[in-house]
Amino acid sequence: MAITAPAPTPAPRILVVNCDQTKPDFVKEFGDVVHLFRDVFTGYVKDEPSAAHPAPGGDTTNGWEMCSNGAFYFKGFDATKYRQNSHGHDVWPHVAAEKIDCIVVGGSSNSVNDLVQKDPEGTLFWMKALAFWLTVTAIQSHHIKFIGICFGHQLLSHVLYDTKITPSTQPEIGPTSVALDDKFKHIFPGGDQLNIQMFHYEMAEPLRRALDEVRDEMTKKQRMFKHYCWGRTPDCGNEGSVVFYDESEEKQIRILTLQGHPELTEAMTRRLIELFSAKGNKLEGVSASDAAEANRKLDAFNADKKQLHSTRAAAAMWKVATGVNFE
């Protein structure tokens, strides 16, 4: 059965899922993950007012906030606070009642592979519950669009595409140029590459064969989420994926994931490098040599007068959230 694209949403309701207990020093200086993504959308609408179609007066109950004079509605949800003895219907957002249009899944210091680790204290149960909630929501609520960033990219790839998460050839930290696949340059118009901040040691395995050639071997879920890789680097063969709505002629996107971080600036990245390379850091610790290499990349990027393509990434995210076509 074909999954039909919904009508565009002038003022989308965007839910951002926090998947990380962000370091307090970073939050104090820059804000938490949820607010960083809100700033991505508010910044884009401010720079591109013609892309917005405000609809003030929408529902702001259940923690929803009207942003940019009604251009979109926004809510953050902290998945890490979910515990095994919680009552799911009291904790997880109700996608129908809250009329959610788009779900953004952010980064994390945890690994998607933690899903299969022993967890006697239940500290990682939130991740298993999140994986289940995302899968059920994607299967049952076809009108909802998904955006995955870093960990979110890997998690959606794993639970929806059955993709393995493996170590990257080399860690990618700092500004990185992603080569865009010719077929999908229309997602990020403006050049052959997308410059974006990176901060990861793992990756979703790239596709080894064209899915069209192995449809008979695919599971029902894989057929439902027929995905493509839109970009790659020498050290990571899958810098992001895209799932189009059926019969949309690859113009309307249901799922867009990015391994990189469009929400991070240079200052944020340098601060994260400092914090994650500090002594005593346990999750996603950055070695002294990797930290030095990342700072070298940042310095070289500036010396070459290169620019991050954050606006191009934000434009793609906005189009996904609003459901408009990618021409």
> pLDDT tens digit string along 41-74?
999 999 999 999 999 999 999 999 999 999 999 9
pLDDT score of 220 more than 70: no
Band of residue 285 on the pLDDT scale cut at 50, 70, 90: confident
CA distance 327 to 325: 6
pLDDT number for residue 71: 98
> Locate tokens 């259940």: which residue?
62
CA distance 72 to 79: 22
Contact 135, 258 (CB under 8 A): no
- Which among 91, 85, 106, 88 has a CA at the least distance from the CA of 15? 106
pLDDT number for residue 304: 97
- CA 14 vs CA 22, 64, 137: distances in Å: 21, 9, 14
Contact 326, 187 (CB under 8 A): yes
Helices (H), the chain: 24-30, 33-47, 88-91, 125-140, 151-161, 220-224, 266-276, 288-303, 310-322
Average pLDDT over residues 129-156: 96
Give the percent of the chain with pLDDT over 90. 77
- CA 190 vs CA 159, 282, 316: distances in Å: 31, 39, 12
- CA 179 vs CA 1, 168, 230: distances in Å: 34, 16, 9
Average pLDDT over residues 142-171: 94
Maximum average pLDDT range among 135-149, 161-175, 220-234? 135-149
What is the helix (H) or strand (E) element at residue 74, kind and residue range?
A: strand 72-78
pLDDT number for residue 85: 64
Computed on alpha carbons and rounded to an integer, the radius of gyration of the chain in Å comes to 19
* Residue 53: partners with Cβ closer than 8 Å, 6 or more residues away: 10, 11, 71
**Which amino acid, 115?**
L
pLDDT number for residue 284: 61
- Which among 265, 208, 271, 277 has a CA at the least distance from the CA of 237? 208
Q: Which DSSP category does 109 fall into?
A: S
- CA 62 vs CA 15, 91, 258: distances in Å: 12, 11, 29
CA distance 116 to 148: 21
pLDDT number for residue 87: 58
Based on DSSP, count helices (H) and strands (E) in the chain, helices before strands: 9, 11
Domains and their CATH numbers in the chain: 13-165+181-188+202-263+311-322 (3.40.50)
